Amino acid sequence: MFSIFNYIKRNNKNQSKNSYSLNETKFFDSYTQSFSYDFGNDNTDFYNVEPKESRLKNLLVPSICVNNGFQFELLLEGIAYNLLNDGKAYAGILFEYEGEEIVSIRIIPLEGKIKRKKNDIYVLYEYDYDGIIKATEIPLKTLIKLDLGDLIKDKNYFRKTAKAIDNYNIINYFDMLNDNVEGYDFSLHKEYNNTAVLDATKKVGWLPVNPEISDSYFLYRLAKTKAFKLKLLNYIIKKINDGLSYYLNEDLGKVVINTKNTDYSWIWKEYYKGNISKESLSDYLFNKEKA
């Protein structure tokens, strides 16, 4: 028989196993932090709505127009982290009315476990402050569902890769060096582990600290990192707009991001063909100027 208590308890146990080391945390942060810094245009607001005269800009909570959308970006970062860590993520849309008029639209990340009750109703199970399981029914049309399988084949890729990064952390083997283990070659071990980390992360191009690779390969992996990160951001924005569209017509608008320097596939091909210099490619990837 299904027990929601055991269901949540088992999930919490699994989550406790996923407490990450510094290197693992850096891996997740590379893809889930500072979207506006990586992709923003200094001359325009990064988060905005279309059409520009839309009421949506003033209705959304967290706001996209206060402190350059800082609170809204925190919302996206939380959703992105949950998605990469769990392989799925959820958010809810809450509408506040005065009479028949919408006065605010709040988007809330949902942190508990969700199970379908019937076709158009889901139930969120979570612990309240007293440690008691609380069940909240959520209509399907107010639930934003995100699935990492839409972006990458293996939904557990980021969690498994984070563990691999930690396993190959050379710091874990300092005892062998200090104990003068016979036949142990620290430099060779470090080179092997660095290669293993690069291989484990090649799908998304992550760059560990001091990777000891050529400048061109460094820039290639940086381009892959940014390309996946932007793909992730666009996916989350699309899912939010899809969720809003259940209730809102096109006149009320949609959330958009104003990006610059984002065609990473094109810029790498231009460099590979010899049409631009390494310096121009670096400036492009680090948002210094357009290539």
User: Per residue in 77-93, pLDDT tens?
Assistant: 999 999 999 999 999 99
Work out the pLDDT band at 65, boundaries 50, 70, 90. confident
* Residue with more model confidence, 142 or 246: 142
Supply the pLDDT for residue 6: 44
- Cα-based angle 96, 110, 9 (whole degrees, multiple of 5): 140
Q: What six digits make up the tokens of 2?
A: 């299904």
Sequence-distant (≥ 6) Cβ neighbours of residue 194 within 8 angstroms: 168, 170, 208, 211, 212
Q: What is the mean pLDDT of residues 162-180?
A: 73
Work out the pLDDT band at 17, boundaries 50, 70, 90. very low
Lowest-confidence range among 201-205, 210-214, 244-248? 244-248
Q: Which of 256, 249, 232, 246 is nearest to 92 (CA)?
A: 246
Lowest-confidence range among 30-44, 119-133, 231-245, 270-284? 119-133
* Residue with more model confidence, 246 or 145: 145
CA gap 286, 284 in Å, rounded = 6
CA gap 31, 202 in Å, rounded = 14
Work out the pLDDT band at 7, boundaries 50, 70, 90. very low
CA gap 135, 17 in Å, rounded = 25
* Residue with more model confidence, 169 or 5: 169
Q: What is the mean pLDDT of residues 230-259?
A: 86
Supply the pLDDT for residue 289: 59
Supply the pLDDT for residue 177: 55
User: Per residue in 214-229, pLDDT tens?
Assistant: 999 999 999 999 999 9
SS3 content of the chain, % helix, strand, coil (to 5): 50, 20, 30
Task: Provide the mean pLDDT of the chain.
Answer: 83
Q: Which residue has the tokens 């000891």?
A: 212
User: Per residue in 118-163, pLDDT tens?
Assistant: 778 888 887 777 777 878 888 888 889 999 999 999 999 999 999 9
Supply the pLDDT for residue 253: 83
Rg (alpha carbons) of the chain, rounded to whole number: 22
Q: What is the mean pLDDT of residues 170-177?
A: 62
